[in-house]
Amino acid sequence: MRSIVALALLLLAACSSADADTRPGLRPIAVTAIAVPLDAADPARDRVGKLRYLGGIELKSRDVRFGGLSALRSMSPGRLLSVTDGGQWIALDLDEQGDRLVGLKGAMIDIVRGPAREPLKGKAHADAEALEFGPEGAAVAFERDHRIWHYRALDGAARAEAFPDQRWLDALPPNGGIEAMAKVGGAWLYIAEAQLAGRHEGVLLSPAGLNRNYARVAVDVPAPYSPTDAHALGDDQILILARRFSPMQGVGAALLLAPVDGARMALGKSELLAELAPPLTVDNMEGLAVVRSGARTFVYLVSDDNFSPLQRTLVLKFELLR
Which contiguous run of DSSP H or E holds residue 148?
strand 147-151
Alpha-carbon torsion angle 186, 301, 203, 200, nearest 10: 150
Closest listed residue to residue 71, CA positions, set 227, 288, 239: 288
**DSSP label at residue 118:** P
- Residue 66 neighbours by CB distance under 10 Å: 23
Q: pLDDT 10s per residue in the chain (322 long)?
A: 333 333 333 333 333 344 446 676 999 999 999 999 999 999 999 999 999 999 999 999 999 999 999 999 999 999 999 999 999 999 999 999 999 999 999 999 999 999 999 999 999 999 999 999 999 999 999 999 999 999 999 999 999 988 989 999 999 999 999 999 999 999 999 999 999 989 999 999 998 877 789 999 999 999 999 999 999 999 999 999 999 998 778 899 999 999 999 889 999 999 999 999 999 999 999 999 999 999 999 999 999 999 999 999 999 999 999 8
Asked if 18 and 86 count as a contact pair (C-beta separation under 8 A), the reply is no
Long-range contacts of 79-82 (CB under 8 A, 24+ apart): 80/289, 80/300, 80/302, 80/315, 81/131, 81/133, 81/138, 82/131, 82/287, 82/302
CA 169: distance to chain centroid? 20
Which contiguous run of DSSP H or E holds residue 124?
helix 123-126
Asked if 289 and 241 count as a contact pair (C-beta separation under 8 A), the reply is no
Closest listed residue to residue 299, CA positions, set 39, 35, 59, 48: 48
Residue 88: Cβ-neighbour burial (10 angstroms; 0-12, 13-18, 19+): buried
- Which amino acid is present at 4? I
Asked if 285 and 228 count as a contact pair (C-beta separation under 8 A), the reply is yes
| Per-residue model confidence (pLDDT) at position 2 | 37
Q: In angstroms, what is the C-alpha Rg of the chain?
A: 20
**Does the model's pTM come out above 0.95?**
no
| Per-residue model confidence (pLDDT) at position 246 | 84
